[in-house]
Structure 1
Amino acid sequence: MSDSATDCGDCTEPRTALTEAEVEALVRGICFKTGPPRGVGVEVEWLVHELRLPQLPVTTERLEAAYAALRSVPLRSALTIEPGGQLELSSPPAASLMECVDTVSADLDAVRTALAGHDLGLVGVGHDPWHQPRRFLRQPRYDAMETCLDRTGPAGRRMMCTSASVQVCLDAGYEEPGPLGHGRRWWLAHQLGAVLVAAFANSPLVGREPTGWRSTRQLTWMEIGADRAGGPPLDGDPRETWARHVLDSPVMCIRRESGPWDVPEGFTFRQWTRSGAPRPPTREDLDYHISTLFPPVRPRGFLELRMIDAQPGDDGWIVPLAVTTALFEDTEAAETAYRLVKPLAERALGLPAPHNPLWSDAARYGLADPELHEAAVGCFAAALDALPRLGASDRVTDAVTAYLERYVLQGRTPADDLLDRLRETSAHTHGKDRT
């Protein structure tokens, strides 16, 4: 989850009441800004744990002290803290893949150095395998979010407090049709998204036990429900379907200047504009409402791909960033990815992501699914071919090659490593018990 930005564009926010027609026009015009694709960004989330023993919980007091120290560290990326104490770095828009990689790498080095001074470190995993959800931030925003999400069960608290991801941000594309056109990129993001879920699955454990899913983080998003964490159908113009989705999605909360925020149930933004109660919605309310919708692909003037689990290792985040960027920004690679994922679309049964069989299979089986495995192998090969054309360094291409060989070609993901370690630990423990 990313709450580092609450707007849907670089615009002013007049506090005047909005009509339904104005909402639709604003969403259509701002959330899909088209032009030559050239910008790239990444948001990397991490769980923060004991440097030497990640299994040990970190007290609220230690987290507060460490984060207070981080505020004085000069960074180019925006640093935010998630509700459960997860740390997120959001890069500034970069003109190239390598500019983005270099910026975030330098910022992460500085963050790790500062955290090490408090005997803390960063852990890259999509869902905390050890600890139960625990709120770190106590703010009206998150109080309201918890109240709202609790209505659909415990998944909301797990999402808020125990999940982490790599979110890749890319321009919406050209207005004109073609491999880099906004309509094609919107469709590709949703179909390729299932392949990315499968290829980078890294959250098979909760409470130190297997859940039966390679990406429990993605399961969590599905359990939250389609009105909050689902996307619109893909059978229409992206601007129209997204504007309709925004208007017809329930409002998470209605903010107040002081005191707890109202958390209505089943009250859509369209109903709010029509009723004007308890007060008329403003442009600021619209921007905030969009920030409380968590589809796997969120248009915010660019496309935010939100389906990738956090990755292990200091540089693990670079691989999904590089692969995804190559498959969208290089014309030849984009065409190849389109051909590879087109047959997969039938398995979605026309249902929006992530609440369809294709995405469910990707989260449950990862690359053990034969069709997703075949598509992932082809997509990684196309990305590797494209990366030199995008100016990628040896560091980046070597990282992608190593991931391809260690995981993708073998039909494995980092989730399989975690499961293997659990089995080894269990076998060792049982062996000691028998002796």
Structure 2
Amino acid sequence: MTQLTEQAAELLIADQAFAPTPPGFVGAAVDVPAATPPAERTRLRHGFLAARWARTAVVSGPPSPGLTVCLSRMAEDLELARPMIADPGVPVADGAGIRVALEAGLEGGGPLGLTRRWQLAHTLGPVLAAAFANTPGAGWRSVRQAARRHLPVLPPGTPRAAWVAYAMDAPDPRGRSLRTRFREEPAPPLAELLRHVGSLRPPVAARGHLEIDVADHQPGEGWQVPVAVIATLLDDPQAALDAAAATAHLIGERDLWERAARAALTDPVLAAAAREIFIAAYAALARQGAPRPLRDAIADYTERYVLRARTPADDILDRSAAQA
């Protein structure tokens, strides 16, 4: 077998990064606390239940034709999964989150083109991470997002070049990057390279589609809010334009991921952007005639948290302070 070279690896990662497709399909994955995560991947009605970490499982839904179908399928699967894993006393892991999968978009320009969607997903990332912060600890409102505190808002280069650079330079569990291995060690075999790329969890990942991982676990049925907001801001043309206008200036902000993780919406820059994008998301859902319960959930979250520069993490911090 021909040995894989660094250049061949970069070409392979770039080739698999995006399958240009117009927006429309929506997928989601929700981490849930589990006393006993399943030993193997289990089929649910629509998607799957699988172990994620110790005491954490993940319910992942299939690509669905539109937001409403996605939310309906996920709700059914989460209900089916609960008896298999439920234990009300199991705490939520700091790493638990909610991921949204959206089509990459088409090659070329326009608000729904690949390049614009890649940029918008990144500028929205820290704002949404701040708005959905819910893992407080050690001076952070989101311990989960604190691991991303050194990331730039938008990685340099075209979407494919940016993803290739990230994948080649990201360290593996032993602290070695693919680039280091190609240059200083025996080259990794193809299967290992693919496992490494598949294990990467940046805020925005290229999986053929866009995988957006910016929201912490939310209590109760609150998982629907980040899925709806993220999908609407990226897939509705007018909401995408409004969100781009509200966040484009954030590309030059310093330490924005650290500020999102530490201060969340107490940071005035993040709070101002969050207000604009949540209003844009609600307006788009109203235009689309989205179900009233979903619109009410977005409105309630906006009023309870976003307009008050708070997040669910602040509720936890307030309870802790009251008990001290």
TM-score scaled by length of structure 2: 0.91
| 1:73–1:111 CA contact under 8 A, matched in 2 | no
**Aligned partner (choices 146, 152, 158) of residue 237 of structure 1:** 158
Q: Does 1:410 align with 2:308?
A: yes
Distance 2:136 2:242 in 1: 30
Contact 1:37 1:173 in 2 (8 A): yes
1:72 Cα offset (Å): 6.8
Gap change, CA 1:123 and 1:165, over 3 Å in 2: farther
Return the letter of the residue paired with 2:124: L
Which of the residues 289, 292, 295 maps onto 2:196?
A: 289
Q: Which moved more, 1:192-201 or 1:104-113?
A: 104-113
Equivalence for 2:248: 342
CA–CA separation in structure 1 for the residues paired with 2:188 and 2:84: 42
AA aligned opposite 1:398? D
Following TM superposition, by how much is the alpha carbon of 1:75 offset from its aligned partner in structure 2, in angstroms?
3.4
Specify whether residues 22 and 421 from structure 1 end up closer, same or farther in structure 2 by C-alpha distance, changes over 3 A only. same
Match of 1:365 among 230, 252, 263: 263
* Corresponding letter in the other structure for 2:88: G
* 1:330/1:390 contact within 8 Å kept: no
1:94: how far off?
1.0
d(CA) in 2 for partners of 1:338, 1:294? 23
Report how many residues are paired: 324
Corresponding residue of 1:41: 27
Question: Per-residue deviation at 1:389?
Answer: 4.3
Task: Report the 3-state secondary structure (helix = DSSP H, G, I; strand = E; otherwise coil) of the residue aligned with 2:111.
Answer: coil
Q: Please report how far the alpha carbon of residue 365 of structure 1 lies from its aligned counterpart in structure 2 after TM superposition.
A: 1.1
For residues 340-390 of structure 1, the C-alpha deviation after alignment (integer angstroms, 9 at most, x for no partner) is: 012222213xxxxxxxx1111111111111121111111011101111444
**Cα-Cα RMSD:** 2.5
Give, in whole Å, the separation in 2 of the partners of 1:102 and 1:411.
30
Contact 2:44/2:81 (<8 A) preserved: no
| Distance in 2 between residues matched to 1:185 and 1:215, nearest whole Å | 25
Aligned partner letter, 2:145: Q
- The change in CA–CA distance for 1:192 and 1:75 in structure 2 (over 3 A counts) is same
What is the CA-CA distance between 1:90 and the residue it aligns to? 1.1
The 8 Å contact of residues 232 and 241 in structure 1, kept in 2 or not, is answered as no
Give the superposition deviation at 1:274. 5.5
For 1:11-410, list aligned pairs within 5 A.
17-48=3-34, 63=36, 67=38, 74-116=44-86, 120-121=87-88, 125=92, 128=93, 162-205=94-137, 211-222=138-149, 230=151, 234-252=155-173, 263=174, 265-266=175-176, 268-273=177-182, 277=186, 280-313=187-220, 315-348=221-254, 357-390=255-288, 392-410=290-308
Q: Max radius of gyration: which structure? A: 1
Decide whether the 8 Å contact of 1:326 with 1:390 is kept in 2. no
CA contact (8 A) 2:123 2:251 kept: yes
3-state SS of 1:41 partner: strand
Amino acid at match of 2:228: A
* Residue 422 in structure 1 maps to residue 324 in structure 2: no
Q: Distance in 1 between matches of 2:184 and 2:270?
A: 46
Which amino acid counterpart does residue 106 of structure 1 have in structure 2? E
182 and 72 in structure 1: CA distance in 2 versus 1, 3 angstrom threshold: closer
Once the 2 structures are TM-superposed, how far is the Cα of residue 414 of structure 1 from its aligned partner? Answer: 0.5
Question: How far is the alpha carbon of 1:194 from its aligned partner?
Answer: 0.8
**Separation in 2, partners of 1:284, 1:392:** 43
Seen in structure 2, the aligned counterparts of structure 1 residues 87 and 23 have a Cα distance that, compared at 3 Å, is same
- Post-superposition offset of 1:193: 0.5
Q: CA deviation at 1:71?
A: 6.9
Displacement of 1:285 in angstroms is 2.1
- What is the letter of the counterpart of residue 251 of structure 2? A
Q: Give structure 2 stretches of 5+ with no counterpart.
A: none
Aligned-partner SS, 1:412: coil
1:425: Cα distance to partner?
A: 2.3
The alpha-carbon distance between structure 1 residues 221 and 121, as it changes in their structure 2 partners (threshold 3 A), is farther
Which stretches in structure 1 are left out of the alignment for 5+ residues?
1-14, 49-57, 129-161, 206-210, 253-262, 349-356, 427-435
Cα separation, partners in 2 of 1:297 and 1:231, compared to 1, 3 Å: farther
Please report the TM-score for the alignment, with normalisation by the length of structure 1: 0.69
CA contact (8 A) 2:23 2:105 kept: yes
For residues 307-365 of structure 1, give each alpha carbon's deviation from its aligned partner in whole angstroms, at most 9, with x where no partner exists: 2111011x1000000001110001110010001012222213xxxxxxxx111111111
